[in-house]
Chains A and B, each alone.
Chain A
Amino acid sequence: MSYDLPPYAAHLGVIVERDEESGGPLVRMPPGPHLLGRPDFLHGGAIAGLLEISAIVALFHALGREERPRVKPINVTIDFMRGGRVRDTFAAGTVTRIGTRVANVEAHAWQEDRARPIAAARMNLLLARDGGL
Protein backbone atom coordinates (compact mmCIF):
# COMPACT_ATOMS: atom_id res chain seq x y z
CA MET A 1 0.00 0.00 0.00
CA SER A 2 1.39 3.38 -0.94
CA TYR A 3 0.81 6.58 0.97
CA ASP A 4 0.72 10.14 -0.28
CA LEU A 5 3.24 11.66 2.08
CA PRO A 6 3.39 15.46 2.32
CA PRO A 7 6.43 17.58 1.37
CA TYR A 8 7.29 17.86 5.07
CA ALA A 9 7.78 14.07 5.26
CA ALA A 10 10.26 14.28 2.38
CA HIS A 11 11.99 17.22 4.06
CA LEU A 12 12.46 15.08 7.17
CA GLY A 13 13.58 12.22 4.93
CA VAL A 14 11.21 9.52 6.25
CA ILE A 15 10.49 6.28 4.40
CA VAL A 16 7.41 4.09 4.85
CA GLU A 17 8.25 0.41 5.14
CA ARG A 18 6.34 -2.71 6.07
CA ASP A 19 6.25 -3.64 9.75
CA GLU A 20 7.13 -7.34 9.84
CA GLU A 21 5.67 -7.56 13.33
CA SER A 22 2.20 -6.23 12.58
CA GLY A 23 2.01 -6.34 8.80
CA GLY A 24 1.12 -2.64 8.90
CA PRO A 25 3.22 0.37 7.97
CA LEU A 26 6.44 1.28 9.72
CA VAL A 27 8.04 4.69 9.24
CA ARG A 28 11.82 4.94 9.24
CA MET A 29 13.78 8.18 9.64
CA PRO A 30 17.44 7.82 8.61
CA PRO A 31 19.79 10.09 10.60
CA GLY A 32 21.33 13.28 9.29
CA PRO A 33 22.67 16.63 10.45
CA HIS A 34 19.33 18.23 9.52
CA LEU A 35 17.66 16.36 12.41
CA LEU A 36 19.93 17.40 15.28
CA GLY A 37 18.68 19.40 18.25
CA ARG A 38 21.92 19.44 20.22
CA PRO A 39 25.23 17.73 19.50
CA ASP A 40 24.78 13.94 19.18
CA PHE A 41 21.00 14.02 19.76
CA LEU A 42 17.97 14.29 17.51
CA HIS A 43 15.68 17.31 17.87
CA GLY A 44 12.46 16.60 19.74
CA GLY A 45 10.54 18.35 16.97
CA ALA A 46 11.89 15.91 14.38
CA ILE A 47 10.91 12.95 16.57
CA ALA A 48 7.47 14.52 17.07
CA GLY A 49 7.10 14.96 13.32
CA LEU A 50 8.03 11.31 12.74
CA LEU A 51 5.48 10.20 15.36
CA GLU A 52 2.72 12.26 13.79
CA ILE A 53 3.48 10.92 10.31
CA SER A 54 3.43 7.34 11.63
CA ALA A 55 0.11 7.98 13.39
CA ILE A 56 -1.51 9.35 10.23
CA VAL A 57 -0.07 6.55 8.06
CA ALA A 58 -1.43 3.97 10.54
CA LEU A 59 -4.83 5.65 10.38
CA PHE A 60 -4.93 5.53 6.57
CA HIS A 61 -3.83 1.90 6.70
CA ALA A 62 -6.67 1.10 9.12
CA LEU A 63 -9.22 2.98 7.01
CA GLY A 64 -8.27 0.91 3.97
CA ARG A 65 -8.18 1.76 0.34
CA GLU A 66 -11.79 2.63 -0.27
CA GLU A 67 -12.18 5.25 2.40
CA ARG A 68 -10.06 8.39 2.32
CA PRO A 69 -11.63 11.04 4.56
CA ARG A 70 -9.87 14.32 5.12
CA VAL A 71 -7.92 14.12 8.34
CA LYS A 72 -7.23 17.09 10.59
CA PRO A 73 -5.21 16.81 13.78
CA ILE A 74 -7.07 18.18 16.82
CA ASN A 75 -4.23 17.73 19.28
CA VAL A 76 -1.20 15.61 20.05
CA THR A 77 0.59 14.84 23.29
CA ILE A 78 4.19 13.70 23.06
CA ASP A 79 6.22 12.07 25.82
CA PHE A 80 9.97 11.94 25.41
CA MET A 81 11.46 8.97 27.23
CA ARG A 82 15.03 8.83 25.99
CA GLY A 83 17.34 11.02 23.98
CA GLY A 84 17.31 10.14 20.28
CA ARG A 85 20.74 9.11 19.02
CA VAL A 86 22.11 9.78 15.56
CA ARG A 87 20.93 6.56 13.97
CA ASP A 88 17.85 5.10 12.28
CA THR A 89 14.65 5.91 14.16
CA PHE A 90 11.48 3.89 13.62
CA ALA A 91 7.88 4.71 14.45
CA ALA A 92 4.62 2.84 14.18
CA GLY A 93 1.10 3.90 15.07
CA THR A 94 -1.73 1.95 16.65
CA VAL A 95 -5.28 3.01 15.92
CA THR A 96 -7.22 2.77 19.17
CA ARG A 97 -10.58 3.77 17.76
CA ILE A 98 -12.08 5.07 14.53
CA GLY A 99 -15.39 6.78 15.17
CA THR A 100 -17.68 8.68 12.85
CA ARG A 101 -15.98 11.98 13.49
CA VAL A 102 -12.86 11.29 15.52
CA ALA A 103 -9.98 8.82 15.41
CA ASN A 104 -7.70 8.11 18.39
CA VAL A 105 -4.21 6.97 17.48
CA GLU A 106 -1.11 6.16 19.51
CA ALA A 107 2.41 6.00 18.13
CA HIS A 108 5.76 4.88 19.47
CA ALA A 109 9.26 5.68 18.28
CA TRP A 110 12.32 3.57 18.96
CA GLN A 111 15.85 3.03 17.76
CA GLU A 112 17.71 -0.25 18.20
CA ASP A 113 15.25 -1.85 20.63
CA ARG A 114 11.52 -1.67 20.09
CA ALA A 115 10.93 -2.49 23.76
CA ARG A 116 12.79 0.69 24.71
CA PRO A 117 10.83 3.53 23.08
CA ILE A 118 12.48 6.93 22.84
CA ALA A 119 9.14 8.76 22.51
CA ALA A 120 5.41 8.20 22.32
CA ALA A 121 2.48 10.20 21.01
CA ARG A 122 -1.23 10.19 21.56
CA MET A 123 -3.14 11.91 18.80
CA ASN A 124 -6.79 12.84 18.26
CA LEU A 125 -7.83 13.49 14.69
CA LEU A 126 -10.97 14.85 13.12
CA LEU A 127 -12.37 12.87 10.18
CA ALA A 128 -14.31 14.53 7.36
CA ARG A 129 -15.97 11.93 5.21
CA ASP A 130 -18.13 14.20 3.07
CA GLY A 131 -16.30 17.46 2.72
CA GLY A 132 -17.34 19.42 5.79
CA LEU A 133 -15.41 19.53 9.05
Chain B
Amino acid sequence: MTSTPPDPGFDPKHFADTLGLFGHAAHLGLRYAGQGADWVELAIAHDPRLVGNTETGVLASGPIIALMDMATSLAVWLRIGRFVPQVTLDMRIDYLRPAAPGRDVIGRGECYRITRQIAFVRGQAHDGDPDDPVAHVTGTFMFTPDPPPARSGGEDGR
Protein backbone atom coordinates (compact mmCIF):
# COMPACT_ATOMS: atom_id res chain seq x y z
CA MET B 1 0.00 0.00 0.00
CA THR B 2 1.40 3.33 -1.00
CA SER B 3 1.07 6.23 1.32
CA THR B 4 -1.02 9.12 0.14
CA PRO B 5 1.07 12.26 -0.09
CA PRO B 6 -0.36 15.19 1.80
CA ASP B 7 -2.24 17.44 -0.58
CA PRO B 8 -1.58 21.08 0.17
CA GLY B 9 -4.19 22.17 -2.37
CA PHE B 10 -7.58 23.68 -1.76
CA ASP B 11 -10.39 21.14 -1.30
CA PRO B 12 -13.72 22.64 -2.45
CA LYS B 13 -15.74 19.69 -1.14
CA HIS B 14 -14.23 19.90 2.32
CA PHE B 15 -14.72 23.67 2.32
CA ALA B 16 -18.34 23.39 1.19
CA ASP B 17 -19.13 20.54 3.58
CA THR B 18 -17.68 22.28 6.62
CA LEU B 19 -17.20 25.95 7.23
CA GLY B 20 -17.81 27.26 3.74
CA LEU B 21 -21.55 27.13 3.33
CA PHE B 22 -22.94 28.88 6.37
CA GLY B 23 -25.25 31.87 6.58
CA HIS B 24 -26.89 32.81 3.30
CA ALA B 25 -25.46 29.86 1.35
CA ALA B 26 -26.91 27.48 3.95
CA HIS B 27 -30.21 29.39 3.90
CA LEU B 28 -30.45 28.76 0.16
CA GLY B 29 -29.45 25.10 0.54
CA LEU B 30 -26.28 25.26 -1.58
CA ARG B 31 -24.20 22.08 -1.66
CA TYR B 32 -21.08 20.72 -3.29
CA ALA B 33 -21.74 18.94 -6.59
CA GLY B 34 -18.39 18.29 -8.27
CA GLN B 35 -15.07 19.62 -9.49
CA GLY B 36 -12.55 19.33 -12.29
CA ALA B 37 -9.06 20.62 -12.92
CA ASP B 38 -10.20 24.22 -13.21
CA TRP B 39 -13.85 24.26 -12.20
CA VAL B 40 -16.13 23.70 -9.22
CA GLU B 41 -19.81 22.82 -9.24
CA LEU B 42 -22.32 23.68 -6.54
CA ALA B 43 -26.00 22.79 -6.61
CA ILE B 44 -29.14 24.39 -5.30
CA ALA B 45 -32.12 22.13 -4.65
CA HIS B 46 -35.51 23.15 -5.88
CA ASP B 47 -37.29 24.84 -2.99
CA PRO B 48 -40.71 26.54 -3.25
CA ARG B 49 -39.40 29.32 -0.98
CA LEU B 50 -36.91 30.35 -3.66
CA VAL B 51 -39.47 30.79 -6.41
CA GLY B 52 -39.47 34.15 -8.17
CA ASN B 53 -42.68 33.69 -10.12
CA THR B 54 -45.56 31.86 -8.48
CA GLU B 55 -47.42 31.42 -11.77
CA THR B 56 -44.60 29.49 -13.39
CA GLY B 57 -42.80 28.11 -10.32
CA VAL B 58 -39.49 29.29 -11.77
CA LEU B 59 -36.57 29.86 -9.41
CA ALA B 60 -35.82 33.53 -8.67
CA SER B 61 -32.66 35.00 -10.09
CA GLY B 62 -31.17 36.05 -6.73
CA PRO B 63 -30.41 32.47 -5.65
CA ILE B 64 -28.75 31.80 -9.02
CA ILE B 65 -26.46 34.81 -8.50
CA ALA B 66 -25.55 33.55 -5.01
CA LEU B 67 -24.92 30.07 -6.46
CA MET B 68 -22.65 31.39 -9.21
CA ASP B 69 -20.87 33.81 -6.88
CA MET B 70 -19.99 30.90 -4.57
CA ALA B 71 -19.08 28.44 -7.35
CA THR B 72 -16.78 30.91 -9.08
CA SER B 73 -15.29 31.94 -5.73
CA LEU B 74 -14.39 28.32 -4.95
CA ALA B 75 -12.91 28.01 -8.46
CA VAL B 76 -10.51 30.88 -7.65
CA TRP B 77 -9.27 29.14 -4.52
CA LEU B 78 -9.00 25.84 -6.39
CA ARG B 79 -6.80 27.52 -9.00
CA ILE B 80 -4.62 29.26 -6.42
CA GLY B 81 -4.44 26.12 -4.30
CA ARG B 82 -5.50 27.72 -1.05
CA PHE B 83 -8.13 29.96 0.51
CA VAL B 84 -7.44 33.66 -0.05
CA PRO B 85 -9.76 36.37 1.29
CA GLN B 86 -11.52 38.09 -1.58
CA VAL B 87 -14.60 40.15 -2.34
CA THR B 88 -16.80 40.21 -5.43
CA LEU B 89 -16.07 43.31 -7.50
CA ASP B 90 -18.71 42.74 -10.13
CA MET B 91 -20.84 40.04 -11.64
CA ARG B 92 -22.90 39.99 -14.80
CA ILE B 93 -25.46 37.30 -15.38
CA ASP B 94 -27.33 36.52 -18.59
CA TYR B 95 -30.56 34.61 -18.13
CA LEU B 96 -30.60 32.29 -21.14
CA ARG B 97 -33.85 30.53 -20.27
CA PRO B 98 -35.96 29.83 -17.18
CA ALA B 99 -34.86 26.89 -15.04
CA ALA B 100 -37.38 24.06 -15.24
CA PRO B 101 -39.70 24.08 -12.21
CA GLY B 102 -38.90 21.34 -9.70
CA ARG B 103 -35.35 20.74 -10.93
CA ASP B 104 -32.13 21.30 -9.03
CA VAL B 105 -29.88 23.93 -10.57
CA ILE B 106 -26.17 23.22 -10.88
CA GLY B 107 -23.70 26.07 -11.13
CA ARG B 108 -20.25 25.49 -12.61
CA GLY B 109 -17.69 28.18 -11.84
CA GLU B 110 -14.33 28.56 -13.56
CA CYS B 111 -11.43 30.89 -12.87
CA TYR B 112 -9.58 31.62 -16.09
CA ARG B 113 -7.12 34.32 -15.09
CA ILE B 114 -5.47 35.54 -11.91
CA THR B 115 -3.45 38.70 -11.47
CA ARG B 116 -1.85 40.10 -8.33
CA GLN B 117 -5.09 41.74 -7.21
CA ILE B 118 -7.89 40.46 -9.42
CA ALA B 119 -9.34 37.04 -10.29
CA PHE B 120 -11.39 36.75 -13.50
CA VAL B 121 -14.17 34.18 -13.51
CA ARG B 122 -16.93 32.80 -15.69
CA GLY B 123 -19.53 30.16 -15.29
CA GLN B 124 -22.75 28.57 -16.37
CA ALA B 125 -25.79 27.27 -14.55
CA HIS B 126 -27.84 24.36 -15.87
CA ASP B 127 -30.70 22.17 -14.67
CA GLY B 128 -29.52 18.78 -15.84
CA ASP B 129 -27.90 19.25 -19.24
CA PRO B 130 -24.65 21.26 -19.20
CA ASP B 131 -25.07 21.83 -22.95
CA ASP B 132 -28.38 23.61 -22.37
CA PRO B 133 -27.52 26.21 -19.71
CA VAL B 134 -30.05 28.44 -17.96
CA ALA B 135 -27.59 31.22 -17.17
CA HIS B 136 -24.13 32.47 -18.04
CA VAL B 137 -22.01 34.65 -15.77
CA THR B 138 -18.81 36.60 -15.90
CA GLY B 139 -17.27 38.38 -12.96
CA THR B 140 -14.23 39.55 -11.08
CA PHE B 141 -13.05 39.11 -7.52
CA MET B 142 -10.58 41.36 -5.74
CA PHE B 143 -8.20 39.96 -3.15
CA THR B 144 -8.38 41.71 0.19
CA PRO B 145 -4.96 42.60 1.61
CA ASP B 146 -5.97 41.84 5.19
CA PRO B 147 -8.99 40.43 6.93
CA PRO B 148 -11.46 43.31 6.86
CA PRO B 149 -11.97 45.10 10.17
CA ALA B 150 -15.19 44.15 11.91
CA ARG B 151 -15.75 47.45 13.65
CA SER B 152 -18.40 49.73 12.26
CA GLY B 153 -17.46 53.01 10.65
CA GLY B 154 -14.07 51.63 9.66
CA GLU B 155 -12.84 50.72 6.23
CA ASP B 156 -15.44 49.37 3.90
CA GLY B 157 -14.26 45.79 3.78
CA ARG B 158 -11.92 45.91 0.85
Contact = CB atoms under 8 A, between A and B. Distances in A.
Contact of B27 (A10, A34, A77, A118): A34
Contacts of A38: 23
A77 B91 contact: yes
B48 interface: yes
Interface residues of B, number: 40
B95 A74 contact: yes
Question: Which of B24, B66, B88 is packed against the most chain A CB atoms within 10 Å?
Answer: B24
Interface string B32-64: 000000000000000011111110000111110
Contacts, number: 127
B91 A78 contact: yes
B99 interface: no
B19 to A, nearest CB: 10
B65 A11 contact: no
B64 to A, nearest CB: 9
Interface stretch (A18-26, A44-52, A99-107): A44-52
Given A49-B62, A72-B95, A74-B94, A43 B156 contact: no
Nearest to B92: A77
B28 interface: yes
Contacts of B49: 7-8, 10-11
A99 B22 CA distance: 41
Nearest to B66: A45
B94 A78 contact: no
Contacts of A118: 156
A9 B52 CA distance: 8
Nearest to B54: A6
A12 interface: yes
A10 to B, nearest CB: 7
Contact of B52 (A6, A78, A82): A6
Contact of B150 (A10, A40, A42, A45): A40
Interface of A: 4, 6-12, 33-46, 48-50, 52-53, 72-83, 85, 118
Interface of B: 22-28, 48-54, 59-63, 65-67, 69-70, 87-95, 98, 148, 150, 152, 156-158
Given A45-B63, A76-B92, A77-B93, 11 more contacts: A4-B54, A36-B23, A37-B24, A44-B66, A44-B69, A45-B67, A49-B61, A76-B93, A78-B92, A79-B89, A118-B156
